[in-house]
Structure 1
Amino acid sequence: MTGQLALFADEQSSPAGLQYVAEFIAPDLERELIDRVAALPLQPFQFGSFEGKRRVASFGFRYDYTLQRLQPAEPIPAWLAPLIEKVEAHGGPSTRIGQVLCTEYDTGVGIAWHRDKPHFDWIFGLSLGASCKFRFRRPAGEKWQRYTLEAAPRSLYMISGEARRVWEHSIPAVEAPRYSITFRTMVDRKT
């Protein structure tokens, strides 16, 4: 067992550029947002010819894995405007959300290790429904440096800087239904 543990670097403090806000929204708004997201025409996540188990709806832009580029998507719905305003205020005066992704994770569904596409800059995620383990990792020599954030319902996380560019993130299979609304700034629209 000691040899197996040696494969991993110790868990350390949170990645630079990761911010977390508990109770970013009220429980009543959480229920309303879950209903709104569940009512969207959610489609299985498409990764080229691969179909993921989570279901999504993109607004503003969507990344087309077959064409390997951003494509226009449906306009961001008006019901998200007050929430976007609150997220942008949290990000600071120059924060402008250009893309929104609504995701439904059924029990047993997660997301593999990845970094968001380079077209996007800052990433804000609003966690709804069940909590999840939001895992981060980056190479540390022959090991991995790891960090896990417990993303509680109604919380907001923000990924920028090193947490965005150097660290990968993933979510293991959730134990109960979870929804998220991801807000992204665009590289050419964020100073």
Structure 2
Amino acid sequence: MMTANHEPCQPEIVTLDQGAVLTLWQSALPPEWACNLFAELRDSLRWHQPQVQVFGRKHLTPRLTTWQGEPGISYRYSGLTETAEGWPEVLKPVLHQVESLTGHRFNSVLGNYYRSGADSMGYHSDDEPELGPEPWIASLSLGASRDFVFRRREGDRSQCARLVLPDNSLLLMSPQVQARFQHALPRRARVQEGRINLTFRLIHQPQNA
């Protein structure tokens, strides 16, 4: 349960460049709640390992995923379309806290379950058309700490920044992050524990949907 008097740490602000800003909160959720949330999400949500198409080839994602949100909200990425059936009760207070901290509204969340350091996410930007021209993305991390890395979309494509995202941290990415950078979660052989990442989004549905 959420405690009314919980105050997360003051956020750390990281500016990549060109107006791309990252805001990172430590202890985003009350610790007594967050410590059980990883297991509750892992055991109660419907996780699956979809087959996606990247550069014309199909392969299984190196992680498990789940798509949740307001009924009928759809999201298409890498040739895959997911449609939400409504917010599970376990996610409703999480959504409320994320919206309260960030000051932004979200109607859906893409969950990724990294079972160990062998699971990963390649470089990409969250810039699908249904996110709109200026998407704010909020990312809640639970479980094992993992590196979160960035590179520019143009020019020098080498890694230019790295954040360590620990358990119970919340990262807010400004729209310029998606427009000018790509991000990834690389494999880390030394990590044996699991990590769940909840990436909250505001999907703009077509008017005739």
Which shifted more, 170-179 or 137-146? Answer: 137-146
- Give the equivalent residue in structure 1 for 2:96: 85
Residues 162 and 31 of structure 1: CA distance in aligned 2, closer, same or farther (over 3 Å):
same
Deviation track 1:78-137 (CA, whole Å, cap 9, x = no partner) reads 221222111112222xx2211112221011111000011232221111111000111011
8 Å Cα contact 2:75/2:203 also seen in 1 = no
Q: 1:105 aligns with which of 114, 139, 142?
A: 114
Stretches of structure 2 that go unaligned for 5 or more consecutive residues are: 1-13
Task: Write the deviation string for residues 23-55 of structure 1: whole angstroms up to 9, x where unpaired.
Answer: 112332223221222112210133133211211
Instruction: List alignment gaps of at least 5 residues for structure 1.
Output: 1-11
Q: Percent identity?
A: 28
Note if contact 1:137-1:168 (Cα within 8 Å) is conserved in structure 2. Answer: yes
The reply on whether 1:58 has 2:72 as its aligned counterpart is no
User: 3-state SS of the aligned residue for 1:44?
Assistant: coil
Counterpart among 162, 169, 175 of residue 176 in structure 2 = 162
Contact persistence 1:45–1:53 (CA under 8 A): no
Runs of 4 or more, structure 1, over 6 Å off, are none
Cα distance in structure 2, aligned partners of 1:96 and 1:80: 14
Between the two structures, name the one with larger relative contact order (CA 8 Å, sep ≥ 6): 1
CA deviations over 1:134-159 (Å, ceiling 9, x no partner): 10110463454611011111100011
SS at match of 1:35: helix
- The secondary structure found in structure 2 opposite 1:101 is strand
Question: Structure 1 pair 142/127, CA: closer, same or farther in 2 (3 Å)?
Answer: closer
Number of aligned residue pairs: give it.
Answer: 175
TM (norm. structure 1) is: 0.80
Rate the CA distance shift 1:183–1:51 in 2: closer, same or farther, 3 A: same
User: Is 30-39 or 146-155 further displaced after alignment?
Assistant: 30-39
Structure 2 Cα separation of the partners of residues 70 and 100 of structure 1 = 14
Partners of 1:141 and 1:55 lie apart in 2 by 32
- CA RMSD after TM alignment: 2.5
Q: Which amino acid aligns with 1:20?
A: L
More strand by share: 1
Q: Which residue, 10, 20, 23 being the options, matches 1:19? A: 23
Q: TM-score, normalised by structure 2?
A: 0.73
Alignment partner, residue 47 of structure 2 = 42
Q: Distance in 2 between matches of 1:20 and 1:133?
A: 14
